[in-house]
Amino acid sequence: MSESAYPSVTDLTLEEKASLTSGGDAWHLQGVESKGIPGYMITDGPHGLRKSLASNTGDTDLNDSVPATCFPPAAGLSSSWNPALIREVGEAMGEECIQEKVAVILGPGVNIKRNPLGGRCFEYWSEDPYLAGHEAAGIVEGVQSKGVGTSLKHFAANNQETDRLRIDARISQRALREIYLPAFEHIVKHAKPWTIMCAYNKINGVHAAQNHWLLTDLLRGEWGYDGIVMSDWGADHDRVASLNAGLNLEMPPSYTDDQIVHAVRDGRIAPAQLDRMAQGMIDLVERTRAAMSIDGYRYDIDAHDDVARRAAIESIVMLKNDDATLPLRKDAKIAVIGEFARTPRYQGGGSSHITPNRMTSFLDALAARGIDADFAPGYTLDLAPADPALETEAIAAAGRNDVAIVFLGLPEEAESEGFDRTHLDLPAKQTDLLRRIAAANPNTVVILSNGSVVTIRPWAGDAKSILESWLLGQAGGAALADVVFGDASPSGKLAQSIPMDINDDPSMLNWPGEEGHVDYGEGVFVGYRHYDTCGKAVDYPFGYGLSYATFAIGDVRVEKTSANTARVTATVANTSDVDGAETVQVYVAPGKADVARPVHELKGFEKVFLKAGESTTVTIDLDERAFAYWSERYADWHVEEGEYTVEVGTSSRDIVARVPVALDGDGKTQPLTAWSTYGEWSADPVGAQVVAAVADAGERGDLPKLPDNSMMRMFLMTMPVNSMPMLMGEGGKAITEFMLADYARRTA
Which is nearer to ligand BGC, 106 or 479 (by Cβ)?
106
CA distance 76 to 122: 8
Q: Under the criterion CB under 6 A, does residue 339 sit at the interface with ligand BGC?
A: no
Shortest CB 725 distance to ligand BGC, Å: 59
Shortest CB 448 distance to ligand BGC, Å: 25
Which is nearer to ligand BGC, 18 or 104 (by Cβ)?
104
> Could you say which residues in the range 522-551 bind ligand BGC, by CB under 6 A?
none
Q: Indicate which residue of 44, 163, 232, 539 is catalytic.
A: 232
Residue 568 neighbours by CB distance under 10 Å: 26
Which is nearer to ligand BGC, 107 or 411 (by Cβ)?
107
| CA neighbours closer than 13 Å in the CB half-sphere of residue 138 | 22
| H, E, C per residue of 451-482 | CCCCCCHHHHCCCCEEEECCCCCCCHHHHHHH
Which is nearer to ligand BGC, 106 or 261 (by Cβ)?
106
Shortest CB 233 distance to ligand BGC, Å: 4
User: Which has the closest alpha carbon to 615: 553, 547, 544?
Assistant: 553
Query: Could you tell me if residue 348 is left (phi over 0), alpha (psi between -120 and 50 degrees) or otherwise beta?
Result: beta
- Helix or strand holding residue 434 (H, E): helix 428-440
Shortest CB 234 distance to ligand BGC, Å: 7
Shortest CB 576 distance to ligand BGC, Å: 42
CA distance 471 to 448: 9
Shortest CB 236 distance to ligand BGC, Å: 12
Q: Are strands 334-337 and 374-376 parallel, antiparallel or unpaired?
A: parallel
CA distance 484 to 462: 18
Which is nearer to ligand BGC, 133 or 349 (by Cβ)?
349
CA distance 643 to 663: 6
> Per DSSP, what are the bridge partners of residue 119?
none
Which is nearer to ligand BGC, 252 or 720 (by Cβ)?
252
Which position among 47, 153, 320, 530 is part of the footprint of ligand BGC (CB under 6 A)? Answer: 153
Which is nearer to ligand BGC, 135 or 232 (by Cβ)?
232
Shortest CB 527 distance to ligand BGC, Å: 22
Phi, psi of 397 (to 5 degrees): -60, -40
> Per DSSP, what are the bridge partners of residue 321?
465
User: Which has the closest alpha carbon to 241: 214, 204, 281?
Assistant: 214
Quote the distance between the C-alpha of residue 40 and its chain's center.
29
Closest residue (Cβ) to ligand BGC?
Answer: 351
Q: Under the criterion CB under 6 A, does residue 351 sit at the interface with ligand BGC?
A: yes
Which is nearer to ligand BGC, 233 or 609 (by Cβ)?
233
Evaluate whether 203 touches 156 at the Cβ level (below 8 Å). yes
Q: Under the criterion CB under 6 A, does residue 232 sit at the interface with ligand BGC?
A: yes
Evaluate whether 403 touches 443 at the Cβ level (below 8 Å). yes
Q: Which residues contact 447 (CB under 8 A, 6 or more apart)?
A: 338, 340, 341, 362, 405, 406, 407, 408, 467, 469, 480, 484
Number of residues binding to ligand BGC, judged by CB under 6 A: 6
Which is nearer to ligand BGC, 230 or 586 (by Cβ)?
230
Which is nearer to ligand BGC, 232 or 339 (by Cβ)?
232
Residue 594 neighbours by CB distance under 10 Å: 13
Which position among 233, 609, 637, 738 is part of the footprint of ligand BGC (CB under 6 A)? Answer: 233
Q: Which residues contact 276 (CB under 8 A, 6 or more apart)?
A: none
CA distance 502 to 3: 55
Quote the distance between the C-alpha of residue 57 and its chain's center.
35
> Could you say which residues in the range 313-332 bind ligand BGC, by CB under 6 A?
none
Shortest CB 258 distance to ligand BGC, Å: 25
The DSSP string of 484-542 is HTTSS------SS-EESSGGGSTTGGGSS-BTTEEE-TTTT--THHHHHHTT--EEE-T
Question: Cis before residue 154, ω within 30 degrees of 0?
Answer: yes
* 579 is annotated as an active-site residue: no
Q: Under the criterion CB under 6 A, does residue 250 sit at the interface with ligand BGC?
A: no
Shortest CB 401 distance to ligand BGC, Å: 43
User: Which has the closest alpha carbon to 667: 641, 688, 644?
Assistant: 641
Shortest CB 476 distance to ligand BGC, Å: 22
Distances (CA, A) of 167 to 259, 495, 719, 746: 26, 26, 41, 50
Output the CA torsion sign for 528, 533, 538, 542: positive
User: Which has the closest alpha carbon to 353: 416, 410, 301?
Assistant: 416
Helix, strand, coil proportions of the chain in percent (round to 5)?
35, 20, 40
Q: Under the criterion CB under 6 A, does residue 121 sit at the interface with ligand BGC?
A: no
Distances (CA, A) of 39 to 58, 120, 158, 500: 19, 30, 29, 50
Q: Which residues contact 72 (CB under 8 A, 6 or more apart)?
A: 47, 308, 311, 312, 315, 470, 471, 472, 473, 476
| CA neighbours closer than 13 Å in the CB half-sphere of residue 327 | 20
Shortest CB 417 distance to ligand BGC, Å: 6
Quote the distance between the C-alpha of residue 503 and its chain's center.
22
Q: Under the criterion CB under 6 A, does residue 106 sit at the interface with ligand BGC?
A: yes
Q: Under the criterion CB under 6 A, does residue 195 sit at the interface with ligand BGC?
A: no
Shortest CB 351 distance to ligand BGC, Å: 3
Which is nearer to ligand BGC, 209 or 494 (by Cβ)?
209
Print the binding letters for residues 20-49 with ligand BGC: x by CB under 6 A, - otherwise.
Answer: ------------------------x-----
Which is nearer to ligand BGC, 65 or 449 (by Cβ)?
65
Shortest CB 240 distance to ligand BGC, Å: 23
Which is nearer to ligand BGC, 351 or 474 (by Cβ)?
351
Amino acid at 130: Y
CA distance 394 to 408: 13
Binding site for ligand BGC (CB under 6 A): 44, 106, 153, 232-233, 351
Q: Which residues are catalytic?
A: 232
